Amino acid sequence: MSIFSSPAFEDHEGLHAFHDRAAGLNCLIAIHSTARGPASGGVRMWAYPDDQAAIDDALRLSRAMSHKNAMADIDLGGGKAVIIGDSRTAKTPAMFEALGRAIEALGGRYWAAEDVGVSPADLTHSRKFSRYVAGLEGHPAASGDPSPVTAEGVKRGIALCVERALGRQVSQVTVAIQGVGHVGAILARKLAADGAKLIVCDINEAAAAAVAAETGAKVVSTGAIFDVEADVFAPCALGGAVSAATLPRIKARVIAGGANNQLVDAGVGQALFDAGKLYAPDFVINGGGIINVAGEIRALERGEAFDPSWVEGKVAAMIRTLAEVLDRSASERRPADQVAVQMARERIAAARR
Does the active-site annotation cover 80? yes
Would you list the DSSP string of 155-166?
Answer: HHHHHHHHHHHH
Would you list the DSSP string of 274-295?
Answer: HTT-EE--HHHHTTHHHHHHHH
Nearest Cα to Cα of residue 321 among 278, 285, 272, 282: 285
Query: Which DSSP helix (H) or strand (E) runs through 25?
Result: strand 25-33
CA 101 to chain centre: 25
How big, in percent rounded to 5, are the helix, strand and coil portions of the chain?
A: 45, 15, 35
Q: Look up residue 6 and give its DSSP letter.
A: S
Q: Which listed residue (68, 80, 91, 190) is catalytic? A: 80
Question: How does strand 232-235 pair with strand 174-178?
Answer: parallel
Distance between CA atoms of 329 and 340, rounded to whole angstroms? 9
Contact at 8 Å (CB) between 112 and 81? yes
Sheet with 14-20, side-by-side order of all strands: 14-20, 25-33, 77-84, 39-46, 110-114
Q: What is the amino acid identity at position 85? A: G
Distance between CA atoms of 82 and 30, rounded to whole angstroms? 9
Q: Look up residue 217 and give its DSSP letter.
A: P
Query: Which DSSP helix (H) or strand (E) runs through 29?
Result: strand 25-33
Q: What is the amino acid identity at position 200? A: V
Give me the active site residues, please: 80
